[in-house]
Chains A and B, each alone.
Chain A
Amino acid sequence: MTEKQFLTPLPILDEHNVYRQVHIQDLHPKERDHPERYPKPSHFKPDPDGLSVYWNQHIDPEGVYNIIGLSYKANKTEFKDPANFFVFSIPVLYLRAVEGISDVSHSPRYIGNPAPIGSPNIYSHASIVYSDDEEIRLKLSDYCKSNHASCHCKIDFSIVEKKVQELRQRLDNTIYHRLPED
Chain B
Amino acid sequence: MITSDKKLSYYHDEVPDSHKDEFKCLSGMDVISLSVQPKFQKGVKHVVPSCEYYQVKGSHSNIYPVKNSVHAIARQMRRAARKSSFAIGFPSYKYPPLENEDIQIIYSQEKESDIEKALSQAKKMLTLSEGWDEANAKRIEPSTFQAAATFLLRYVNRLEETNIYIQTPEIDPCPDGSIDLNWHTDNARMLVNIRQENNEYVAYYYGDFYDGKMPFKGNIAVDTFFDFFAAWMKYLV
Contact = CB atoms under 8 A, between A and B. Distances in A.
Given A42-B174, A42-B180, A26 B133 contact: yes
B176 A135 contact: no
A96 B163 CA distance: 43
Interface in B116-172: 128, 130-136, 170, 172
B131 A134 contact: no
A134 B206 contact: yes
Size bin of chain B's contact surface: 20 to 34
B206 A135 contact: yes
Given A23-B133, A73-B134, A74-B131, A40 B176 contact: no
A40 B180 contact: yes
A8 interface: no
A28 interface: yes
Interface string B169-199: 0101111101010100000010111000000
A80 B134 contact: yes
Interface in B77-136: 128, 130-136
Interface residues of A, number: 22
Contact of A74 (B134, B176, B182, B206): B134
A75 B137 CA distance: 11
A116 interface: no
Contacts of B49: none
Contact of B172 (A42, A74, A75, A76): A42
Interface string A116-159: 00000000000000001111011000100000000000000000
Interface string A58-79: 0000000000000001111000
A40 B134 contact: no
Nearest to B175: A45
A76 to B, nearest CB: 8
A25 B174 CA distance: 10
B217 interface: yes
Contacts of A137: 191
A76 B182 CA distance: 32
B134 A41 contact: no
28 contacts: A23-B133, A23-B135, A28-B172, A40-B170, A41-B182, A42-B172, A42-B175, A45-B174, A45-B175, A45-B176, A45-B178, A73-B134, A73-B135, A74-B134, A74-B135, A75-B130, A75-B131, A76-B131, A84-B134, A133-B206, A134-B192, A134-B193, A134-B217, A135-B206, A135-B217, A137-B191, A138-B189, A138-B206
Task: Please list the 9 inter-chain residue pairs (A to B) with the smallest Cβ-Cβ separation, ordered nearest first.
Answer: A134-B206, A135-B206, A42-B172, A74-B131, A138-B191, A23-B133, A42-B174, A134-B191, A42-B180
Interface of B: 128, 130-136, 170, 172-176, 178, 180, 182, 189, 191-193, 204-206, 215, 217
Given A45-B175, A74-B136, 5 more contacts: A74-B134, A80-B134, A134-B193, A135-B217, A138-B206
